[in-house]
Amino acid sequence: MSDAKVLPLTPKWEEGIHQFEYTDRMLGYNAATDKDGVANVPARQIGNRTEYLRELVSVAHDFLTGIHRLTNADFTADAAIAEECLQLDAYPAALRRELEEYFIRLRHVGASSIPDDSANMGTFNVLSRLIPLSWHYLGGFVLLELFCSNFTAMEFAAANVIDVVAGDDSMDVDSSSELVEGREYLLCNESGGELEHVTLMAILTETRVRVTHPLKYSRTSGKLADTNLIVSDGAAMARTDWEYVSGLFQDSSDATYFLLVVNRDAVAATGAAWYRLASDGDWLVMGQVDSKRYADGTEDDIWNLPKGTVQFRLVYTGREEVYPYQVHHIFVLPRDNMEWVEDVRRPSIISVKRNGSALSLTGSVYGSLYREEHGGTTVMVSDSLRADAYSQTKHFSGVVTVALELDDYLKMLTPVFVQIRYSDVLGAVSRWSPAVTVHDEGSE
């Protein structure tokens, strides 16, 4: 078949398909005038749609898994398929960026369960589809702040401030429709500076409100919000000392307690965290349990968050030279404390020493409920105490004094965290021992 007999097609989404009318002259392509007749119009429109859909589903197609990975770049202006028409819970651009950054870190913290980059990207493919399509899938178990509308732990969308006079107790806003009397807000300028805590006493009109105390700064613009971070399109930038206040978080898991994790650029900033229960208005200090730095230049700050219906507050400070820096995400992870009758007694580490990559330790005396012989000792060396920490494990048969070489990743870190557990000859295992923090010169 020659090219002259094939309709030229363009991969674009046609808004409609032409309907033939009684008066249409059923003419085809005229080579002399290079003009097409109405007879070819519907076929070309359908063909254009088909070509568009074929390109859409073939983007980054993995023929082994059958997965199609689409990004915002695949939904162009002439595609006529707007993101809001896709019925996703969150827009792909912000989520994909957050997930890509998260899985860069996962290469370090999850190497024991994700052995190579291909498996890592396979997991990425799964989550990049599951998270946008099902907020409820994670909503009851993990609280996520990705700084986009569908993945936020804040309960209030920022309202714009139009006019404030220092010393006055009222201000003009663009709309008071979502403001709540008696609630505390953060008031700041457009760059997050000149931060004030204000409590709304009364809503006077649709555009004017009164607060409980005189205002400190005059402003011609600004915002009332739950954070003075600069948030846009799934990103949050700290341009000055910042605060963040979550909404009430009510867990639906069986966790004993939770970890609050803030991931940010690894700069010399200091964070503090507070929480309060729904039934109590007092803010209580949270204990920070860990801080972890990654090879990609980010850092996690981790606090213990108690169980229940709670709200948390973060305050970060730093010298002027550390700004600006990015806050990538905030999340709350469930943790469990479990107790059970042990066939094998839980061990403890009596002594441990480290010299570069060489680590040696001695555990406590082995004990078994049913007097079974000692089957072996398993050593786990981790880079943190987090639930998703990277770890190296090695098993030794029938001994309580062992020596091992740290792998290439762990030997570069100090400190590391060491735990052991015992097993009997029938395969019953103990709980892991309490963790010991180990530096090159020994243990603490």
CATH of the domain at 425: 2.60.40.10
More confident residue, 108 or 392: 392
State whether 282 and 331 are in the same domain.
yes
Compute the radius of gyration of the chain from its Cα atoms.
30
- Averaged pLDDT score across all residues of the chain: 77
pLDDT in tens, 29-76: 777 787 878 888 888 888 888 888 777 665 544 445 444 455 545 544
Weakest mean pLDDT among 97-106, 111-120, 193-202: 111-120
Q: Is position 115 within any domain?
A: no
Higher per-residue confidence, 395 vs 54:
395
Answer yes or no: is pLDDT of 182 > 80. Answer: yes
Last residue in a domain, options 225, 244, 277: 225
Specify whether 330 is located in the same domain as 237. yes
* Domains of the chain: total: 4
Q: Kindly indicate the confidence band of residue 15, based on its pLDDT and cuts at 50, 70 and 90.
A: confident
pLDDT band (50, 70, 90) for residue 252: low
327 and 365 in a single domain? The answer is no
| pLDDT band per the 50, 70, 90 thresholds, residue 142 | low
Query: CA angle, corner 64, sides to 58 and 67, nearest 5?
Result: 45
pLDDT of 159 above 70: yes
**Structure token pair of residue 273:** 């965290």
Domain boundary among 58, 75, 90: 58
Average of pLDDT values for 129-151?
A: 51
Task: Look up the pTM and report it.
Answer: 0.49
Please state which of the ranges 44-58, 200-214, 356-370, 388-402 shows the lowest mean pLDDT. Answer: 44-58
Q: Are residues 357 and 433 located together in one domain of the fold?
A: yes
User: Is there a domain that residue 105 lies in?
Assistant: no
Tokens of 89: 């819970």
C-alpha angle 193-199-202 in degrees, rounded to nearest 5: 125
pLDDT attached to residue 336: 57
Residues 236 and 217 in one domain: no
> Is the torsion defined by CA of 18, 24, 26, 28 positive or negative?
negative
Write out the residue range of the structural domain in which residue 319 sits: 230-335
Which CA distances in Å does 305 have to 153, 260, 279, 390? 15, 6, 16, 22
Q: Determine what percent of the chain is predicted with pLDDT higher than 70.
A: 72
321 with 357, same domain: the answer is: no
Assigned token pair, 67: 């997965």
Residue 81's pLDDT is: 44
Q: How far apart (Å, rounded) are the C-alpha atoms in residues 314 and 362?
A: 41
Residue 101 lies in a domain: no
Dihedral, CA atoms, 212, 218, 219, 220, nearest 10 degrees?
120
Is the pLDDT at 88 greater than 70? The verdict is no
Residues 265 and 314 in one domain: yes
Place 171 in a pLDDT band, splitting at 50, 70 and 90. Answer: very high
| Confidence at residue 9, expressed as pLDDT on a 0 to 100 scale | 86
pLDDT at residue 126 in the model: 41
- 130 found inside a domain: no
Query: Based on the domain organization, do 219 and 249 belong to the same domain?
Result: no
269 assigned to some structural domain: yes
Same domain, 323 and 386: no
- Domain assignment present for residue 136? The answer is no
Last residue of a domain, one of 36, 58, 80: 58
- Read off the pLDDT of residues 259-270 as tens digits, 9 standing for 90 and up: 888 889 999 999
pLDDT single digits (tens) 225-241: 889 998 876 678 999 99
CA distance 420 to 378: 6
Residues 367 and 438 both lie in one domain = yes
Q: Please tell me the distance from the alpha carbon of residue 72 to that of residue 93, in angstroms, as a whole number.
A: 6
- 3-class secondary structure, 394: strand
In-domain check, residue 116: no
pLDDT at 26 over 70: yes
Confidence band, pLDDT 50/70/90 cuts, at residue 130: very low
Task: Check which CATH number belongs to the domain holding 325 and give it.
Answer: 2.60.120
pLDDT at 85: 44
So what's the pLDDT on residue 59? Answer: 53
- Do residues 280 and 321 both lie within one domain? yes
Average pLDDT rounded to a whole number, residues 123-145? 43
pLDDT of residue 110: 45
Whether residues 256 and 321 share a domain: the answer is yes
Question: Do the domain assignments include residue 11?
Answer: yes
What is the pLDDT at residue 19? 85
Taking alpha carbons only, the member of 391, 270, 253, 244 closest to residue 329 is: 244
Distance CA 432, CA 297 (A): 31
- pLDDT surpassing 50 at residue 376: yes
Measured on CA atoms in the order 391, 392, 393, 399, is the torsion positive or negative?
negative
